[in-house]
Structure 1
């Protein structure tokens, strides 16, 4: 008897599905094999030997040494007799654990490396020699395997869609039933105590624009649109959290908008979470009241990039984006001349001119006038342990970045800058580390701190970390976020990427309590990493 048509269709569908799954399985297996071989080769070629272990904790440095080969040694053999207490303690611990000491041998590797040059900074942070920086850059340079970008940290493993399916279809259905999980937020909204807790942990304040900007009082326009408001002070540096990773940051008067998302849902869908709390402002208020100079985009995920916002950003703003993201921005009206694509460790210096409010002392009403000041915006893209995608077919075809930013000033100038050179700065720069989504890698963050630290302020994610078996390589736990502040040497840090949407399995308030617990038990500074209200401005 011949097969019926429905049976033929069923057989064909099963065959196509099997071939599709097998094809992707072979692809990921090949990709992971190539990636691991490349990382092993980099580890041999570019060993990370810092002159000192990270000063925040010798034990943390030994953990790095055990996992990825970051070993303590002095800059030269002649200086071994003048080892610091940290180095001596490090040597002792390395000896106890049976680890090799790079200060005693590694002559062959040292002979292959360029001669050591004097450190570039007075402290461990930012004190890497040129040869050390070169090894760091090559060790953590971007890697493309079979047409897609791959992670370069040893902690990463390829997950594929099957691990996400195991989380949502097995783990969340049977082991820990959390389908349609909202972190317990709606349950708390139904009780008086719950609503009090929400108001206490996730307060929302309207942004006080008049503290940040002064309107010029005119309706003047130029080729870039209406004249923007002027900043109140030339040296103004502040942080305002709008939600998720959307922040309004000022460094020496330069206004930076990060990962702009202003919609109620990351994706308009019944399956997409909605905002827990109202926003402190909408995009129209922001554009009308703020002078946006730079937009930092870390990657293309929907909770970090709202494409409908792009046409509303003033045309004078410059977009700093990962490699591969420019075509999407151009598709939604952002001119190519306004986009700067950066690969990992690429640096770009942008000359900027900011408008600063100045009170006319001759008028009792205090008429507002403006003056222009020069700024040099220095940005370096650095690696993160994450991934990118906006559709099932474009996974990892674009890169994902974190950013190290420094703003140099030359307040003696009053006209638009023609060049951008830190050597002309009259003050020390303000520095920012803006962290995209990432899992924790001690070798990576230690390398960032060694090459680019320290930082005046850091913005670090603290949410979306459960279940750990699935999330740990792409999102940090609060404990790891606090550790990053020590790894990179940030003087102050603000928490983000939490309390906005429920996108993982922890309760909505768990990041706050975990942060409180971590700082109380382990931190030398109770304000090392602050969880702040939506819309409230903090000055630094």
Structure 2
């Protein structure tokens, strides 16, 4: 008798209430077995990677920041890329870097926090301030870096006059301080960067409003964007450790508000994220903008990530130093299960310490009542530690 026939015969012999319990127990048993197999495979694979591809830590190197950040040699780069490469099992991408998660789920205060505290009011964004008010041509400042957090993982970054928009989501629930129409009518968006193939990171309804914008997306999103009318030449797909270089000609303004066209070069590297990615591989980005006669501006955008000391030290060793970093703080900054997907305020400070960043910006925090309890303490902690 086959196993399937035996299970069917056993189910027929059971009373109705026991049949439901038998089915439920079977489902739980299969799920538990698959999860145990997944975790054992992940632990064994990562242990083998650590043995085959040793990666020096910042402490082991015993060198200055200037000698460590951005100075990985070819052998070190090979070991870093081989150790932190995607791990796919049962159709899901697993966590390849041990994450540092505080035990906030042990707190007795609960997730929601005090009910009598309200979220801070949003502040309207002056689009004209970002692109100037003189003349009809929208032009950002030609020098320096400007970072504006809009909502969730949506950020507007201006680097030497080149404007990037990250993970654009502008639906009514996102409560952005400006609309997409204001950005594209009064300003300009040169590049859109997407960290994950997920509705929380890309609102596809914005595609028709940015017909001339370049797209940098995870591998596998090209077809979906082309169906929405984006030209294939405007789309660049990247996966972990891929790099691309893009030349741009953009209008910029100076202190006297005069506008001129200049050449800029954008260098983008896709790097791993800490935490699990699920069916769609999540990634972070290192973005650099080079301008003739000016210092190169470097920005790290974390996307969906938790903090892993080994991973972020390796990223800093390969691509650092960074002028600004954006790191997600979970809604609630600690309670399980958000902590498995995003970091906490303490983790954002650790990112800045690991990569010796001048400024760290926390995204996602303060969006609902689950994070009211810890937002003031978290933001203060970041400012104090970085």
Q: 1:127 aligns with which of 65, 71, 75?
A: 71
Q: 2:84 aligns with which of 140, 152, 163?
A: 140
Larger radius of gyration: 1
Q: 1:230 aligns with which of 128, 131, 138?
A: 138
Matches of 1:156 and 1:375, distance apart in 2: 38
- Answer whether contact 1:463 1:511 (CA < 8 A) is retained: no
- Answer whether contact 2:96 2:275 (CA < 8 A) is retained: no
Deviations 1:237-289 (A, max 9, x none): 21112122211110111101011112233xxxxxxxxx6xx531112112212
- Answer whether contact 1:324 1:397 (CA < 8 A) is retained: no
User: What residue in structure 1 maps to residue 377 of structure 2?
Assistant: 513
* Residue 383 in structure 1 maps to residue 272 in structure 2: yes
CA, structure 1 residues 8+142, in 2 after alignment: closer, same or farther (shift >3 Å)?
same
5 Å-filtered alignment, 1:410-489, equals 410=292, 426-489=293-356
Deviations 1:135-164 (A, max 9, x none): 11111111222332222113499xxxxxxx
Where 1:188 maps in the other structure, the secondary structure is: coil
- Answer whether contact 1:155 1:441 (CA < 8 A) is retained: yes
CA, structure 1 residues 517+485, in 2 after alignment: closer, same or farther (shift >3 Å)?
closer
5 Å-filtered alignment, 1:178-217, equals 181=112, 183-184=113-114, 187-189=116-118, 198=119, 202-214=120-132
Where 2:172 maps in the other structure, the secondary structure is: coil
5 Å-filtered alignment, 1:294-309, equals 294-309=191-206
Matches of 1:16 and 1:332, distance apart in 2: 43
Deviation at 1:34, TM superposition (A): 2.0
5 Å-filtered alignment, 1:329-348, equals 329-348=225-244
Deviation at 1:19, TM superposition (A): 4.9
Aligned pair count reads 371
CA, structure 1 residues 288+476, in 2 after alignment: closer, same or farther (shift >3 Å)?
same
5 Å-filtered alignment, 1:312-327, equals 312=209, 314-327=210-223
- Answer whether contact 1:434 1:460 (CA < 8 A) is retained: yes
User: What residue in structure 1 maps to residue 7 of structure 2?
Assistant: none
Deviations 1:425-457 (A, max 9, x none): x43311000111212111111111111110111
- Answer whether contact 2:331 2:367 (CA < 8 A) is retained: no
CA, structure 1 residues 500+37, in 2 after alignment: closer, same or farther (shift >3 Å)?
same
Deviation at 1:407, TM superposition (A): 0.6
Where 1:206 maps in the other structure, the secondary structure is: coil
User: What residue in structure 2 maps to residue 106 of structure 1?
Assistant: none
Q: 1:409 aligns with which of 271, 284, 291?
A: 291
Give unmatched runs, 5+ long, in structure 2: 1-11
Where 1:490 maps in the other structure, the secondary structure is: coil
- Answer whether contact 2:306 2:343 (CA < 8 A) is retained: yes
Deviation at 1:332, TM superposition (A): 3.8
User: What residue in structure 2 maps to residue 289 of structure 1?
Assistant: 186
Deviation at 1:133, TM superposition (A): 1.4
- Answer whether contact 2:147 2:157 (CA < 8 A) is retained: yes
- Answer whether contact 1:406 1:432 (CA < 8 A) is retained: yes
Larger RCO: 1 or 2 (CA < 8 Å, sep 6+): 2
CA, structure 1 residues 291+236, in 2 after alignment: closer, same or farther (shift >3 Å)?
farther
Matches of 2:304 and 2:89, distance apart in 1: 21
CA, structure 1 residues 335+31, in 2 after alignment: closer, same or farther (shift >3 Å)?
farther
* Residue 25 in structure 1 maps to residue 32 in structure 2: yes
- Answer whether contact 1:156 1:473 (CA < 8 A) is retained: no
Matches of 1:15 and 1:510, distance apart in 2: 43
Where 1:242 maps in the other structure, the secondary structure is: strand
Matches of 1:302 and 1:477, distance apart in 2: 23
* Residue 152 in structure 1 maps to residue 49 in structure 2: no
